Amino acid sequence: MKSLEQLTDSVFYIMAALTEPRHGYAVMSLIEETTKGTFVVGPASLYTIIKKLVAEQLIQLHDDSDSRRKVYVLTDKGREILLEDIERRKVMIHLAEQGLQRGNI
């Protein structure tokens, strides 16, 4: 994350998972599950990214965390950034599909 401009895929998946309060391990499992194992964010990546997202205030600790489970959730700022990135990604897909459709010469 150079600052917040665009989210990497890993960051996007994690933030998407944290639209609802979840602890790290659950985020990891959810991504693996929803992508049918296509995209795996292992513990090293996960906790590294979580640390950064907290530092940048895109996610925050949720109340019902205990010592064992640290539950995180998107902040308003995080939600905003995620929405922006969704739009960017829609355009991306649109561009690619447009290119593929026109019979690519």
Partner DNA sequence: AACAATATATCATTTTGTGATATATCAAGC
Partner DNA sequence: GCTTGATATATCACAAAATGATATATTGTT
Q: Which residues bind DNA (CB under 7 A)?
A: 1-2, 8-11, 23-26, 28-29, 40-45, 47-52, 68-71
CB of 73 vs DNA, minimal distance in Å: 12
Select 43 or 80, whichever has its Cβ closest to its own copies.
Answer: 80
Q: Which residues, 6 or more positions from 73, have their beta carbon under 8 angstroms from its beta carbon? A: 18, 20, 21, 22, 59, 60, 62
DSSP 74: E
Q: What is the number of H-type helices and E-type strands within the chain?
A: 4, 3
Subset of 20-59 contacting its own copies (CB under 8 A):
20-21, 34-35, 38-39
Binding of its own copies by 100 (CB under 8 A): yes
Q: Which of 1, 4, 12, 26 binds its own copies (CB under 8 A)?
A: 12
Closer Cβ to DNA, 91 or 103, answer by number: 91
Identify whether the C-beta of residue 61 lies closer than 8 Å to the C-beta of residue 72. Answer: yes
Query: Under a CB-based contact definition with an 8 Å cutoff, are residues 85 and 92 in contact?
Result: no
Q: In residues, how long is the chain? A: 105
Pick 99 or 103: Cβ nearer DNA: 99
Give the residue with the Cβ less far from its own copies, 38 or 67: 38
